[in-house]
Chain A
Amino acid sequence: MNAVEIVGGVAAKHDPSDRVGRPDSPLRAMRRRVGGHAVLDPFGLDPQLCDLAAPIFRFSMRVETFGAESVPSNGPAVLVMNRGYGVFEPTALTVAIMNETGRRVRVVGAPGLFGVGNALRRFGAIAATAADINAALAAGHLVAIPMAPAWLSPRSGAPPLELMQTVMKSIVLPVAVRPGGPFGAPLAGWRVKIGTPIVTDDSLALGDPLGAAELSETVRTAVDNLR
């Protein structure tokens, strides 16, 4: 599928840090990198590298997406997703959003590990801190917050409470990412179901711990119901 066609009418005002673009030919990409024309965004994302790797991700992760119309075509939103296999679910969600809306996803949880964190940031990971999430939302990006890992439990893990406190006034979408293979094995592609935005209680102040706990529980229930 052609990336520019997905973006459609907004291709003219293409913001490479938020919109997937057409990958360069390997030779042109190499030239741009050597000539210093491959730019980063403030979070460390490398749009050119992401676009180059996009066909590889699309090929290696077959994803079936439901409910992508809930994702805003512009502006900030928070996607809260379940997690069992670690990096696979965020990658499946990134591919799903890329295919359906042509937007990039900032996945929360870049490790501080020497070298690894930097490499993941090139592909859109951001740190699991309130400051980085606020900055990404202020810049109008889609932010994916993975819930606590749940390996064998039928229910999803809890979303990180401290981070939910910072996103209480944003558009929050529950996302269920499930492997399509037998017994939940990641063999036959992935199914990504995106729910409708969660309505939050306006009377609660931003950062209210009780409000954040309620929001976390609502999101968790919504993700479980999306199975």
Chain B
Amino acid sequence: MRVLVTGMGGELGTRVAQLLEARPEVRDIVGCDFVPPRRRLRRAEFRRIDPRNREKLRDFVLDFAPTHVAHFGVYEPASRLSPAQAAQRTELASMVALSAAARAGALEYVVVRSGLEIYGPRRNRASVPDESVPPAPVTPYGTSLLKVEGAAAGVARRHGIPVGALRYAPVVGSHVPSPLGRLLRLPVVPVAAWSDPPFSLVHPEDACAAMVAALFVRVDGPVNIVGPGAASPWQAARLGGRIPLPLIAPLWGAASQVVEFTGAAIAPHVVELLRFGRTGSGAHATATLGLGQLRSTQAVLQELYEWAEIVPLDTVRESVA
């Protein structure tokens, strides 16, 4: 089994590479990203490639000729990149890496990172969507995810291989760069004044375990990965001892700008979550991936808020010197 992990520089990509290193069935693991991995990798090989350098990315993937692709080259806006950069890099990474992997000739299975954002705002039509609900994204990130799934489906059609898409609930954790995580940790959290809709989260460890399970089970089609239970923006803010600030619809644009000024950029898909909620049915994942009990949304939130505010690096440097 020769696994390519695109987006290995992200928190999930790095952790998945570590989990794959522990599996003897996986012979080779290589990864690429525009930033280096976030943890120490022993067996996996990493190449620093910006997805905008198409030729370099294409040649790298063609040379490796993966049998399996775990596609984490999907960048959330306002996470580590601006919305425009995130959309551009996601599109390039998906198109170039997936098509090169397919052309290399050894490809057996592809699984892509997707998200519940693909279903669009939580409305009366389907408030807890399962995988059969047709995607109807309205935010740039949701649209971006739809393109990624579309590219993967194209590979499946042309080469006749199974392709999975893991539609994650927002992945929030102490070490995960996430616009929602940052926003919830602000001293004052904007919430919707007239509705307090539920949203679900997934723990980064569960998200990675799901990806590894998907690679081995070769799950075909979309699968929602959602932690049990839900929270509402108001409740989540109070759990962290933050002050919820109720906002009415016309004020969200101004609030986004103020929040961005304070250092936590807020993307449209995060506003959508706060105003309309975001949940999904995770029953299919439990049945197909055999993951056992995932960590609940409340547990994910508690871990987020228990995280130490700042780790002083100076002392570490002094002790090393």
Contacts and interface: CB of A to CB of B under 8 A. Distances in A.
A150 interface: no
A52 interface: no
Of residues A33, A36, A37, A127, which shows the largest number of chain B Cβ atoms within 10 Å of its Cβ? A36
A129 B130 contact: no
Interface stretch (B12-20, B72-80, B230-238): B230-238
Given A40-B198, A41-B198, A44-B198, A132 B239 contact: no
Interface of B: 123-130, 132-133, 194-198, 200, 226, 229-232, 234-240, 277, 279-281, 283, 297-298
Contact of A36 (B230, B238, B283): B238
> Which DSSP category, helix, strand, loop or mixed, fits chain B's interface?
loop
A114 interface: yes
Interface of A: 17, 33-44, 110-112, 114-115, 117-118, 121, 126-127, 129, 131-132, 134-136, 138-139
Contact of B124 (A112, A134, A135): A112
A117 B128 contact: no
A165 to B, nearest CB: 13
B125 A134 contact: no
> Which DSSP category, helix, strand, loop or mixed, fits chain A's interface?
loop
B134 to A, nearest CB: 10
Contacts of B231: 39-40
Contact of A41 (B132, B195, B230): B230
A149 to B, nearest CB: 20
A39 B230 contact: yes
B175 to A, nearest CB: 23
A43 B128 contact: yes
Given A36-B240, A39-B230, A127 B127 contact: yes
B127 A39 contact: no
B232 A112 contact: no
B230 A135 contact: no
